[in-house]
Amino acid sequence: MADQDLNEIEINWELMTPMESALWGTALALHVTDADGGLGAADEALAKLRHLYDVRSRQPNPEDEAAASNVYLTYDEFAPWYTVAHRIRCYREPDYRPPTANQVADAYERYSLSRGSFY
């Protein structure tokens, strides 16, 4: 345990989703008598969970949620909202990159076309 910085552990804890922190804390508690205080087992369990993110069912894309709620947004309203919603939804994914202007425009087109699908 001495080779891990406690500040780094705390920062990592703060950045975990509720599911991740519950799993990490449980694994840590179950392995508290290990030589490293359970940190290795907790980190390994968290790594396995994060590996399964692509396998688990996904939430709808932000543009699909907006279309389903039937809220009308102009492009000028949609673009900043989508950028933030995309970051909230996806920033924990490996190699996350903010959406480009073309990706935002494509998302707006999908949103516009999908609004009629939910009547």
Mind listing the pLDDT tens digit of every residue in the chain (119 residues)? 446 788 888 888 888 888 889 999 999 999 989 888 888 999 999 888 888 776 655 678 899 889 988 889 999 999 999 999 999 888 877 788 999 999 999 999 999 988 876 55
Domain identity same for 38 and 67:
no
Residue 1 lies inside a defined structural domain of this protein: no
Distance CA(83)–CA(54), nearest Å, equals 21
Reported pTM: 0.52
Domain identity same for 75 and 113:
yes
Q: How many domains does the chain have?
A: 2
Judged by DSSP in three states, 33 sits in coil
DSSP 32-60: TTSTTTTHHHHHHHHHHHHHGGGTSPPPP
Residue 32 lies inside a defined structural domain of this protein: yes
Q: If we measure between CA atoms, which residue out of 49, 108, 107 comes closest to residue 75? A: 108
Domain identity same for 47 and 90:
no
Q: Residue 36: give the domain boundaries.
A: 6-54
Domain identity same for 13 and 36:
yes
Amino acid 2: pLDDT? 46
Residue 111 lies inside a defined structural domain of this protein: yes
Amino acid 1: pLDDT? 43
Amino acid 116: pLDDT? 74
* Whether 42 contacts 31, CB under 8 Å: yes
Q: How far is CA 19 from the centre of its chain?
A: 11
Domain identity same for 72 and 114:
yes
Residue 93 lies inside a defined structural domain of this protein: yes
Q: What angle do CA 94, 99, 100 make, to 5 degrees?
A: 130
- Any idea what DSSP says for residue 99? P
Domain identity same for 44 and 70:
no
Terminus-to-terminus CA distance in the chain, angstroms?
A: 56
